[in-house]
Structure 1
Amino acid sequence: MKHKFYLLYSRSDHMLQHKRTRYFNRSDIINNHPYSLHFDIFLSEQNKTMKEIGSWHYPVYFDYLPAFRLAVVLKFPSWFGNATLDPCLKNNCTENSICAPLLNLNHSYYCSCKNGYYGRHCSKYEPLCHKYCSENSICRPNHNTILMNQRRPYCICPLNYFGPRCILKNDPCYSDPCFNNGTCLVREHSNEEASYICNCSTRFYGEQCTKEKAFVHINLNMKNDSFVRATVIQLYNMNKTTLHIQYQQVQNGLPSRFHYAHEGPYAPHLVDHYEAICFSHNPQIDHCGKCLSKGQCLHGDLTNSKDFICLCPKCYQGPHCELNLQAFGFTLDSLLIEFSKKG
């Protein structure tokens, strides 16, 4: 079984300064590695509870670089399962934690906080875990705070349970209720009952994707488009004095034509004359804040949070403008200054 994961470094001012400091301090790079990747493994027991049985830890070397690639095969060591060789026979874990072996380091262990506990020595407890995560799941209070800046805990689900709170146990998508290549998505209710919604393909809409959309094709006859980096196309629905964004897409450059699939049996009427009318508009509707390093974010489909383009400032690249190239670039002036200092 092969998986790929893409993770981003923290972009806070504190961590960026820390990254620059490490770049110019070679001894710190050799001796200290603040970033590491953890692969934790859990055993599902017969009473539907889970038990953490170990983890693989891999430090991130040269973390000041824009990217780090790790290719590894996770294997259980030969001593795993042998009680006499278990590194947890002698440990210093507190009563609020359990000892588990590091599976890629001999004679090493780590202390994992018990359900609901967190902190350096597992001395803090989050009462929200008792009512947020379902029974038999494992609650990690501070994981979502670190990953997504959310106050809600992170729940690790037992076998055959899923969802943010591990309360979903029936899969209504098993019968494939969405037609015409629609994707079935389970959604969660506060009463712990599961239902589904259909994410329809481009040509269809409706609760089960059974209705076909009307297609609109628009050709653009524009010249001198070489300076255009990206284009946002919006289709508004006028309702008296209010504009409602009915459709939006974003493309790199300036397209010569674009297509729109209208949710209805007939195509909408497009105004072909010039007229000045004032409308109220909420700019937060199509607000996009996915880009780092002060990059400009352009949103596409407003129902798809992953449909956006980042226009990065100078010396920044990447889908989110997360790669800083300043540390690896140089100019003729910088070389002359450095040479004059040596002279």
Structure 2
Amino acid sequence: MSVFQVIIMLIDEQRQITSYHEQITYVPKCDCKTKFNIYLLSPHQPKNSSANYSIHIDIFDKITLTYWASWHLSIPFQFLPVNRLASQLFIPNMQQLESCPLFCENHGRYIRYINKNVSYFCQYDQGYSGLHCDIKQTCSCSPDSFCLTSSICVCPLKKYGPKCYLKHSICQSSNNSCENDGLCVSIDDCIASNKFTCLCKKSFYGSGCENAKNRIYIKLDEKILEGTTAIFVHYITAFEDSKHQHITTLKKIKYNEVVITLFVTYPFNILTAELFNKNYYLLIHDCQGYSDCENGGQCFQDNATCPSVSVCSCPDCYYGTKCQFSTKDFVLSLDYILRYHIKPNILIFQQPLIVTMSMVLTTVMFIFGSISAFLSISTFRMKKTRDVGCGFYLLVSSWISIFIVSVLIIKFWQLVLSQMIILTNRSLLTLNCILLDMILQVLLASNNWLDACVSIERIFTVFKGIKFNKSKTRFRLSSQPALSFRKHLQLQAKQNKHHLIASCALVFLALPRLIISFITGCMKLPRYSWLFLIGYLISFLPSMMTFIAYILPSETYKDAFKSAMQPIIECLRININ
């Protein structure tokens, strides 16, 4: 809030101020571009033709009564009885304190005129005057005013008169006082018909500061605000029959400030923020401040006054009507991989390619996994395969494999049918949403733990070994003296290749899912669905590979498999015959 007192004086070449001067109370908020017509009379009648007159203008801050700036206007035709001058003054934003090293008798200072780069004058202190501030004068102004000369007093806000002893009653009346701590400023009758004006706080407006401004809270990302001290805010108002209105304000940002508050009184349609690096950001309204969106989702409404529809725009790695679901970390799910591709009210074979391929792959995996699990269970039910703990672990793993492929096929069809709006039972959908993914993760983790137990037991057996027999060792060493250590190692690797194949196969099958999950972090866009679908389905292959990875490479397990299949084959032959 700024209020200035402008003093316009007629001076001679010795800077002696004539008895005629004018004062104007200027309020930038209300009086910008206002024209002021004043008259300055010559002190001598008729006019002294030998005197060289000019116009000196001082401006003071009326609230603090501190000097602000000065202007000097020359009168071009001194011989004329009447001169008409027109000038436009630009008040600086900062108080002008620039001075030059000239002598002012310790009772003033030399100040440069705003409108002249090389012209200075002596701005004297209260109680002094003269070209060099060397003339002492008697001041009769009120104690709370500023004595410019013996005849010119700069009055505070609530006083007026030649000596500033009179009080403005208009700003002391309870009926006309400004509300909400507004500043009451009395206005001269020659400027406006209103007797006073109110300078309101930044959060209020109105003739009496009775209205609160609309508040806009802008929340910007900390990375955007890093190293930024201010932003330009652009208000754009659209009109049908005229050019759009564009208003720009500068908003400074305090240290460690994330939420910026704007106070607005005029309507607008678009709000943008501009940084000093010329980056522009569209500012959006978050559903009247009552957003149901979760995880940082942005809320949009079809109408700001009477909204009927609201939509959540989710950040990366989140989805759902309220951004309540996440694709972060490495817990993959068919829900966020396929849900955007399944079209409602369309037959399954008319769905997008990724949906039909998922149907084919899950069906093949169910058939293959069921057969593999059945053969593995038949094998490990043989007692001789469970002489050590590995057989027991693999038997339990085979049973879990059947449950895994069964839950997988149920999960796929539950998702497809619910998205196609065929399966609509709310309780069943809620139960499936809560249980199916959890059951799949538990079964997969259990299967992985059992595979790890098999590997740990085999490693333990290798390190523990049988009781060391020196004589047998010397005999075996001397029985094949022609074989080098490398040949022995190759021979042992060949004989135990089934152990290596099983472990390596399981590791390689688990790698794609881990690589995809850690590199991408989450599925940000639906076009990455193929990549995540491949990683998701590959994660089920180790649980289906028990028969191929453990039984076929092992002679012991293969013999047990043949023994287990023999009764079944004989039964089939009898039934066929």
By percentage of residues, which structure has more helix?
A: 2
What's the TM-score once normalised by structure 1's chain length? 0.36
Which of the pair has more CA radius of gyration? 2
